Structure 1
Amino acid sequence: MKPIVLTFAALLAAPAFADVDASNPARLYDLLRSEGYAVELGRDSVGDPKISVKYEGTGFQIFFYDCSDNVECRTIQYQTAYDMTDGMAYAQSNEWNATKRYATVYLDDEMDPFLQMDVNVDYGVSEKNFVDNFKMWTRVMKDFEDYIDW
């Protein structure tokens, strides 16, 4: 009987880490603010939640997807755009996509690059995992800026 009591006591003493997901944009906003990031909570053009972020001079958005009537979203995507004077060559964007693992680039009709990274947070991830993925995005974004001499 004693081992059961000790196991139960250990479970009570263990820190509780609540999962985060895309169903509560305000929670993700608060989590990023608590990490020191400049963020703004808003809505995109179809009414889904959106978090705008400013990081080391670059603005980007966190878009919420797989939503039901603009709530109860399931996934997110980080996205930023670069308005380049001469655009970006297809070969350069293809090289990025072929050699980089986490974020992909696509070109608009003016050949300006959009960098994006999808994150599946459906069913929840730990706060630590969410922040780690966010930091991964910011590293990849800065790597891309170096890649295009931004």
Structure 2
Amino acid sequence: MKLPALAATLALAALAALPAQARDLPAGGLTRAEVAQWLQGHGYKAQTHDDSEGNSIVSSASDGVNWDIYFYDCGKTGRCASLQYAAGWSGLSLADGTLNTWNHGNRYIRGYQAAKGAVWGEYDIDVSPGGTWEQLDHSLERWTGALSQFKDAIGQ
């Protein structure tokens, strides 16, 4: 093998061995439209609307459970640095300690019971500064996997 061909082969091998570069999220976080587009790109439904308290949210579903993404730490540009996945059920009567047991043994969804038997599961993430699309993808995988387990834990 001639020297230039050997050098090119070695350079390609070195490039192939490098880890893939993470794709940074936009500075300041994400807009609701970007989150909706991201979810749709992963095959999820995504509808943007305002809730009864005037919060703009993105609604989706997985494994037969409807859930929302709420936006926090939003700047004037509409970019938000923190997101919260949330799912709720109404009219549940859980055994004492069910949610405490869940919260003690699980990291990625915290559960609580609100008034009139409403049960909520929530998962918060920061997407700025320093967030990546890969991190966001991973949070979605964690949310949907843990949500299925949470649903079972509360008997739904």
TM-score under structure 2 length normalisation: 0.76
Shift of 1:44: 3.3
What corresponds to 1:91 in structure 2? 97
Instruction: Look up the equivalent residue of 1:53 and give its one-letter code.
Output: S
Residues in 1 aligned to 2:53 and 2:74: alpha-carbon distance in whole angstroms: 11
What corresponds to 1:59 in structure 2? 66
Q: Which runs of 5+ in 1 are unaligned?
A: 1-5
What corresponds to 2:50 in structure 1? 43
Residues in 2 aligned to 1:59 and 1:139: alpha-carbon distance in whole angstroms: 14
Q: Which runs of 5+ in 2 are unaligned?
A: 1-10
Find the residue that maps to 1:74 and give its secondary structure.
Answer: strand
Please say if 1:148 is aligned against 2:151.
no
Residues in 1 aligned to 2:84 and 2:61: alpha-carbon distance in whole angstroms: 16
What corresponds to 2:126 in structure 1? 120
Q: Structure 1 111/18 Cα, relative in aligned 2: closer, same or farther at 3 Å?
A: same
Task: Trace 1:124-143 onto structure 2 (pairs within 5 A).
Answer: 124-143=130-149
What corresponds to 1:3 in structure 2? none
Decide whether the 8 Å contact of 1:29 with 1:39 is kept in 2.
yes
Residues in 2 aligned to 1:82 and 1:57: alpha-carbon distance in whole angstroms: 12
In the TM superposition, what whole-angstrom CA distance separates every residue of 1:77-129 from its partner, at most 9, and x where no partner exists? 010111244x2234111111111111101101123310000111121422121
Identity among equivalent positions (%) equals 25
Residues in 2 aligned to 1:112 and 1:48: alpha-carbon distance in whole angstroms: 19
Return the index of the structure with the highest Cα Rg.
Answer: 2
Residues in 2 aligned to 1:22 and 1:16: alpha-carbon distance in whole angstroms: 16
What corresponds to 1:28 in structure 2? 35
TM-score under structure 1 length normalisation: 0.79
Decide whether the 8 Å contact of 1:18 with 1:127 is kept in 2.
yes
Residues in 2 aligned to 1:116 and 1:147: alpha-carbon distance in whole angstroms: 14
Question: How many pairs align?
Answer: 138
